[in-house]
Structure 1
Amino acid sequence: MTVKTLKKSVIAVAIVAALTGAYSINSGHALWPPQAAAQQSQAVSSGPAASTTGTAAPVSYLPDMSAIVARNGAAVVNISVTGTAKNSAASLGFPELDPSDPFYEFFRHFRGPRSRGDVPTRGQGSGFILRENGIVLTNAHVVDGADEVVVKLIDKREFKAKVLGVDKASDVAVLKIDAKNLPTLKIGSAANTRVGEWVLAIGSPFGFENSATAGIVSAKSRSLPDENYVPFIQTDVAVNPGNSGGPLFNMAGEVIGINSQIYSRTGGYQGLSFAIPIDVVMKVEEQIVQYGKVQRGRLGISIQELSQSLAESFGIKKAGGALISSVENGSPAAKAGLEPGDVILAINGKEISSSSELPPLVADIRPGEPAKLQVWRKGSSRDIEVKVGAQKDSSVASADDKAAGQGRLGLALRQLTPEERQQIGGGNGLLVMNAAGAAARAGIRPGDVVLSVNGEPVSSVEQLRKLIAKSGKRVALLIQRDEAKLFVPVDLG
């Protein structure tokens, strides 16, 4: 079976070392005139035309996007990053093994001596100027781990940028450059975007600055692995390494998204591109500028999709909503009386058609505020009010936070109850509530208990986050599944 991989459109770290040579890889205010908008927003029009048979034939016209590029290109920037990365055996083409591994000495003997310490890295991406005082938006993964960020304008001016903050959960970063009276873009709304509309991307694919590509919106509200808070816009716009962080325009010349990811077997464009809706981006930017971090609401539940068969078993006519599979002890959901098996049909009057719609809606609620849930329980609907809590991992928005933590693993975890500890022999561990991303690909699944990371026993989520943050590209987890214990190697990428 062919396995497809979801890759960031920019990998903002390319190792530069003496053994490999220097290289870099990477995802490697003017409005459009109403006359032009009216004329060019017509994707397809038809009218009579002469033909050899004497009958009228329809004539189709494609949109002319030159006005959008001409008026907005100056506010699209190229972003170059430099930093350092830990040298490792994996970077030299050898697997990273624990010293206790029986093959450790074998590989150490044949690879010979190798340099240790940090090696320089480089990367490139795209971005755009949001405010004329120097606020620039890009992707979080473009500047992740960078020691220096340089913003280059189309007029060749270059500025060293300060990273005001990054939010890895939404993949948004806010930069500040020391400049005034800069060209800016008009911000639109992704809410009004329709599937089938023409859209345009401007960015720096493979370092080719201010390149324009076009396509249509293929779908909306796409949920991707490890991305719980972003209802992505899917397009067929040609987005390649280096486009990450660049704007996605509608035919009115308004920004409706930031290009973030591609779905690819090769790392290059294959017809599936994903953009972060600008509505999500602007909320993140506002919080980072005002508070220096992003605060998100949480309920403290694990949810899953309600299939048709599950809906029938719960007595629900239509498959929809978010099925609660577990409730965290002491969480806002537990205090409000939510139970496993409840189905959340709506929140604050907004219907939940798919389970993926719930997390971003909850995240948008400020911690401490109430939320009214419509819940299906045991054959009937009821209203339950819950006081929304704060995401424990809200510090991820800090510009100084280098820890990837649970995000790299893709695990939702909680501490064991006393009864659960007895079931595993009285030891400590973390119960897997949900598995996605790297952990899911390695075969870890809900119900497993994580006992140790690289041989070090874990007893708290924070401890695990710190261990993962200082790990290399691979990590070995000791898990307990039913009565068996086994080591699972996880490739963190």
Structure 2
Amino acid sequence: MPRSNTEVARLAPVRSAGHYWATLLMLSVMVSVFWSQSLAARGLPDFTELVEENSSAVVNISTTSEPRNQGSRFQGSPFDERQLEQLPPFLQEFFRGPQSPFGGSPRSQQPQRSMGSGFIVSTDGYVLTNNHVVEGADEVIVRLNDRREFQATIVGTDPRSDMAVLKIENGEDLPVVKVGRSRDLKVGEWVFAIGSPFGFDYTVTAGIVSALGRSLPSENYVPFIQTDVAINPGNSGGPLFNLDGEVVGINSQIYTRSGGFMGVSFAIPIDDAMNVFNQIRDKGSVARGWLGVLIQEVNRDLAESFGLKRPRGALIAEVMQGSPAEKGGLESGDIVLEYNSEPVQLSSDLPPLVGRTPVGESARLTVLRGGREIELDVIIGRLPEDGDDSSDPVVGENNAPSQDPLGLAVESLTPEQASAAGVQGGVLVTRVGQGPAAEAGIRSRDIITEINREQVRSVEDFRNATRKLPSNRAVSVRIVRQGRAIYLVMKP
């Protein structure tokens, strides 16, 4: 271990002026080496060369959107431009201004402009950016750091991943980035971004990878990279680099309460982005894998009720009719523990794994069913463009409701109610009193289809299941509420 400066100074002899200067020179060298070693030990990288090598392939994207008639309860101004000129000034302002109930005149509507970032991924001019950067744009201009400007066309977009692919026309000697692999990223690794926050071109910010595989409420099919790299409006669509100068992500979103950077930024993994890019370039659209299930998180109580030692996996609350999951043998109440040998720790882990699977390929799922693990092979389908609408269950006439110790009153479902709710059987909750059911969150008008892993298709099934419930132990209850199936935990 190198000695400290004070130790070295205390041990260094002073015999003469020559010795003094020689000793001083030696001390300077040792301090320099020690300082360099200290910096290296702290892992502080130097980004200068990386920025110089990669800035040329990062672009500024500016868009122009022509005003569009948003429509209103009025069909248009009762006056044309010539007639407006003959009106008093205050009436001209009323009919032309943006506050006009007729939407104003063309003179008052100005083109909308926005700005973002992107990067070139191929020598023939393909550019990747965010969908929200170019959404609704009528003109897209791409500017390089050597101040060359090109008009770009939007090849295709994928709103689900917030991705857009642009094409520079008539570009020559275009620089390109080096694409890395986001699957190799590790939490704590240094990364840096280049973009145009607030219009300040080629701004460089750096930080570390804070977390991997983040799931955001609006994006179920993107396992985001979370970083503490400073990202602000204008950085959207720009690249996230690793210390090898490779793009590992596309800066997309921030968590903020102020509209600006607060230390939590999210980037689309480049592995997912390149998959979207290749599909848009080659096919013009993006196809994602689809199972056709509704899933929910496994909490501690659910884990106990299903016999898991700890919370993990994705609990299947509902299997859609005619879906790949139904054809592959998946059932409601199954807990997906692995997907193609990839562990599923959280329910949010499953959608990205399914979405990345090519349509038509077989996937092997390890699921927990009835307390034991089984394996199922499912042929993955294509994710529908639009979701199916679900109808609310209808409350029918009271036909001999049943009261049980759980604090519930239930009745049999009519065929019309079952059809409206999309279930094959069950009992309708007509009243919830004090007791375990209320504590579990069961509400009136819920449809109970399963208790403690036993199917409930009638009032008699419900009575038989409740008679056998264990005491002081969590049990699962599957309900259908407003067309959606969920599992609740009840402790009799």
Q: Matched residues in 2 for 1:222 and 1:343: separation?
A: 21
| Residue 60 (str. 1) matches residue 42 (str. 2) | no
1:115 deviates by 2.2
What is the SS of the residue equivalent to 2:5? coil
> 1:196–1:427: structure 2 CA closer, same or farther, 3 Å change rule?
closer
Question: TM-score, normalization: structure 2?
Answer: 0.66
1:249-268 counterparts in 2 under 5 A? 249-268=241-260
Contact 1:86-1:119 at 8 Å conserved across structures: no
The match for 2:291 among 296, 299, 314 is 299
Task: Give the whole-Å Cα distance in 2 for the aligned partners of 1:297 and 1:261.
Answer: 24
Residues 27-86 of structure 1, C-alpha deviation per residue, up to 9 Å, x if partnerless?
xxxxxxxxxxxxxxxxxxx96552489699883352210111111101100001111354
Secondary structure of the residue that 2:138 maps to in structure 1?
Answer: strand
TM-score, length of structure 1 as denominator length? 0.66
- Code of the residue aligned with 1:127 in structure 2: it is G
Distance in 1 between residues matched to 2:388 and 2:130, nearest whole Å: 27
For residues 87-486 of structure 1, what are the structure 2 equivalents within 5 Å? 113-116=101-104, 120-178=111-169, 179-393=171-385, 413-416=388-391
In the alignment, is the contact (CA less than 8 A) between 1:413 and 1:430 conserved in 2? no
Unaligned stretches of 5+ in structure 2?
11-30, 73-98, 397-412, 423-442, 447-480, 483-492
Rg comparison, structure with higher value: 2
* Greater percentage in helix: 2
* Structure-1 separation of matches of 2:143 and 2:421: 46
Question: Aligned residues, how many?
Answer: 357
Tell me the CA shift for residue 418 of structure 1.
10
Amino acid at match of 1:329: Q
Q: How large is the Cα RMSD of the aligned pairs?
A: 3.4
Aligned residue for 2:49, secondary structure, equals helix
Q: 1:238, 1:271 within 8 Å by CA — same for their partners in 2? A: yes
Q: Deviations over 1:351-375 (max 9, x none)?
A: 1111111111111112222111111
How far has the Cα of 1:156 moved from its partner?
A: 1.2
Q: Which amino acid aligns with 2:39?
A: S
Whether 1:83 and 2:54 are equivalent positions in the alignment is no
- Check whether the contact 2:334–2:369 (CA below 8 A) recurs between aligned residues: yes
- Describe the shift of the 1:285–1:429 C-alpha distance in structure 2 as closer, same or farther (beyond 3 A): farther
- Find the residue that maps to 1:218 and give its secondary structure: strand
Counterpart secondary structure, 1:146? coil
- Are the counterparts in 1 of residues 392 and 421 from structure 2 also a CA contact under 8 Å? no
Supply the distance in 2 between the matched residues of 1:366 and 1:420 (Cα, whole angstroms): 42
5+ residue gaps, structure 1, are 1-45, 91-110, 394-405, 407-411, 432-444, 449-480, 483-493
Query: How far is 1:335 from its partner?
Result: 1.7
Letter in 2 for 1:164: V
Give the superposition deviation at 1:425.
Answer: 7.8
Q: Is the 8 A contact 1:87 1:119 kept in 2?
A: no
Aligned residue type for 1:50: N
C-alpha deviation, 1:429, in angstroms: 8.2
Shift of residue 414 of structure 1? 3.9
Give the counterpart letter for 1:73 in structure 2.
S
What residue identity is the alignment partner of 2:370? K
State the shift of 1:318 in Å: 2.6
**1:426 and 1:181 mapped to 2: Cα distance?**
66
- Deviation, 1:387, is 1.3
Q: State the Cα distance separating 1:426 from its structure 2 match.
A: 8.1
Q: Any residues of structure 2 matched to 1:2-21 within 5 Å, and which?
A: none
What letter is aligned with 1:75? A
Letter in 1 for 2:204: A
Distance 1:424 1:156 in 2: 69
Task: Give the structure 2 partner of residue 50 of structure 1.
Answer: 5
Given that residues 324 and 380 in structure 2 are in contact (C-alpha distance below 8 angstroms), is that contact kept between their aligned partners in structure 1? yes
Q: Quote the Cα distance in structure 1 between the aligned partners of 2:255 and 2:49.
A: 29
Deviations 1:195-238 (Å, cap 9, x if unpaired)?
11111100000111111011111111111111111111111111
- Listed one character per residue, the Cα deviations across residues 265-301 of structure 1 (whole Å, up to 9, x for unaligned) are 0111111111111111111111111111111110100
Cα displacement (A) at 1:330 = 1.1
| Structure 2 letter corresponding to 1:148 | E
Greater relative contact order (Cα 8 A, min sep 6): structure 1 or 2?
1
Matching residue of 2:470: none
Contact 1:76 1:127 in 2 (8 A): yes
Other structure's SS at 1:358 match: helix
Distance in 2 separating the partners of 1:426 and 1:225: 31
Task: For 2:303 and 2:214, locate their aligned partners in 1 and report how far apart those are by CA, in whole Å.
Answer: 22
Q: Which runs of 4+ in 1 moved over 6 A?
A: 55-58, 417-431
Q: How many Å separate the matches in 2 of 1:48 and 1:190?
A: 41
How far does residue 427 in structure 1 lie from its aligned partner after superposition?
13
Percentage of matched positions with identical amino acids: 51
C-alpha separation in 2, matches of 1:54 and 1:324 = 70
Would you say 1:72 and 2:40 are equivalent positions?
no
User: For the structure 1 residues 288 and 281, does the alpha-carbon distance in structure 2 shift closer, same or farther, using more than 3 Å as the test?
Assistant: same
Paired residue type of 1:74: S
Secondary structure of the corresponding residue to residue 278 of structure 2: helix
1:218 and 1:424 map into 2 onto residues whose CA distance is 52
